[in-house]
A = this chain, B = another copy of it.
Amino acid sequence: MKPNVAAAKAALPHLDLDTSEAAIRAKSRDFFWYSPVLKARLDHVMADFVVSPRSEAEVIEVLRTCYAHDVPVTTRGAGTGNYGQAMPLAGGCVMHLRHMTGVKEIGPGRVICEPGILLKDLDTATKAHSGQELRMFSSTWATATIGGFIAGGSGGVGSCTWGSLRDLGNIIRLRVVTMEAEPRVLDFRGEELPRVSHAYGTNGIITEIEMPLAPAYDWVEMFVACDDFMDAVRFAEDLANQDGILMKLGTVFEAPIAKDYFQRVAPHVEPDTNLVGLMIAPHSMEGFLTFLGRRSEARLIYRNDEDDWPRSPGPVFEYGWNHTTLRALKVDPSITYLQVRYGFPEHKALIEKMQTALSPEVLQHLEVLREGGRVIFAGLSLVKFTTEERLDEIVRMHEDAGAMIFNPHRYTLEEGGRQTVDDRQLRFKREADPKGLLNPGKMIAWDDPDWSYDRMYAYPKLQAAE
């Protein structure tokens, strides 16, 4: 079962093949380097060639050909993922879906499209068609694809109202191609969706997507300042619990994140300013301002529809979700992050506990999230990195306190998730990828079913560094 890369390439000359070394190197990387742990392990990873199919038929052709020649296939949307999700650990083929950008059908509350369209372009199309937009998007809206969001992401701007991608109703249907001698095309709904959503393309390639839509509004984007951190947390939570105020984003930044890392915000805040980033529907602004008027601890310092800052801060959502980490990293390259779930009803107590124990080594960055009908917080905490040991210790401190960690310093599905095998994904991989060629090294359960999770998993077939 040695891959025959040359034979695979030779069989696909009529497709859009990229064999320039620079291009292959660029398309073999994602935002794994947010993590110093992954940076140390994956920096050298590189595919053998890149192919960009123009249609589902060409996707099938790539998968059939690579299957025949035992060549691994790692699918790429836009490569904005953070876990090395889209990196070809064992080399082989990167299948780049940048040509598959069609919007096939738009109706009330739904859209059908191809996977390679950028979130931004999809929203533009549905907005122009009927004033609709995606319920939620990754903060990489401007650069990421819908297919990558579904296969690699979890939620984002909009999740304060609609919950996460995995919640029932947030994906309607996925069309999936398997990697077999003769690839099959399957339509998944309902209980079948979790087989391939957030599976990193390890068990099938998504070629068509049906998503629910919400009405598109000219969201009012704002920054609110609080002197006290927990006041800012309560402000965001209480606002999200206002049933009549429609909200798309609620982000809390512990001081001094705003002053130290948000260049265009810095002139308007102090080092001890805790900041709340918001997106509120225009017709909810009366309600919002009434709510704000009741909170003397909160000051509205910016709204994009009355922008009087000499230098506009740009979209407020590009301060939230994993853009916070990006902004901090640019100022202080030693910063990395953790993903935390602060669950109901202990969320506020847990946040306060972690903040008290770890600030300023760990600075709280929180996203309002709906889970099971409740407002909770997802933490994308900023961590001042020193050593891998200390990072592991910080992870343990969270877990011991009862705050679940989704570790972004690991490249496997299990370690970035709940550290358990997802049986639905594993079972479907057995069926859909019998040779184990799809994005190899990302599903521990496939390679080493008895893995104990007592240390970081190292994929045995990871390309050797030169």
Residues of chain A at the chain B interface (Cβ within 8 Å):
107-110, 130-132, 135, 161-163, 167-170, 172-173, 189-191, 212-218, 240-246, 281-284, 286-291, 293, 370-375
Contact = CB atoms under 8 A, between A and B. Distances in A.
Given A214-B215, A240-B373, A242-B167, A190 B286 contact: yes
A372 B237 CA distance: 10
A215 B109 contact: yes
A108 B217 contact: yes
A337 to B, nearest CB: 25
Given A169-B245, A169-B287, A243-B373, 11 more contacts: A108-B215, A109-B281, A169-B284, A169-B286, A190-B286, A191-B290, A212-B244, A213-B283, A241-B373, A242-B373, A374-B374
Given A217-B108, A283-B109, A243 B293 contact: no
A173 B286 contact: yes
A135 to B, nearest CB: 8
A149 to B, nearest CB: 15
Contacts of A110: 283
Contacts of A191: 290, 293
A125 B214 CA distance: 20
Nearest 8 pairs of A and B residues by beta carbon = A241-B373, A169-B287, A163-B243, A169-B244, A109-B283, A190-B290, A168-B287, A167-B244
A246 B240 CA distance: 17
Q: Which of A107, A168, A245 has the most CB of B within 10 A?
A: A168
Given A109-B283, A214-B215, A373-B375, A168 B244 contact: yes
A242 B168 contact: yes
B218 A108 contact: yes
Contacts of A189: 286, 290
A290 B197 CA distance: 16
B108 A167 contact: no
A168 B245 contact: yes
A108 B293 contact: no
29 contacts: A107-B283, A109-B215, A109-B282, A109-B284, A131-B131, A162-B243, A162-B244, A163-B242, A167-B243, A167-B244, A168-B288, A169-B242, A169-B244, A169-B286, A169-B287, A172-B286, A190-B286, A190-B289, A190-B290, A191-B290, A212-B244, A212-B284, A214-B215, A215-B215, A241-B372, A241-B373, A243-B371, A373-B374, A373-B375
Nearest to A215: B215
A169 B370 contact: no
Q: Which of A108, A169, A246 has the most CB of B within 10 A?
A: A169
A288 B168 CA distance: 8
B246 A169 contact: yes
B215 A169 contact: no
A302 B190 CA distance: 20
A281 B216 CA distance: 17
Contact of A168 (B109, B190, B214, B291): B291
Given A131-B130, A169-B288, A288-B169, A283 B241 contact: no
Contacts of A217: 108-109
A73 to B, nearest CB: 29
A402 to B, nearest CB: 19
Q: Which of A173, A246, A286, A293 has the most CB of B within 10 A?
A: A286
A283 B215 contact: no
Nearest to A130: B131
Contacts of A371: 243
Contacts of A108: 131, 215-218, 282-283
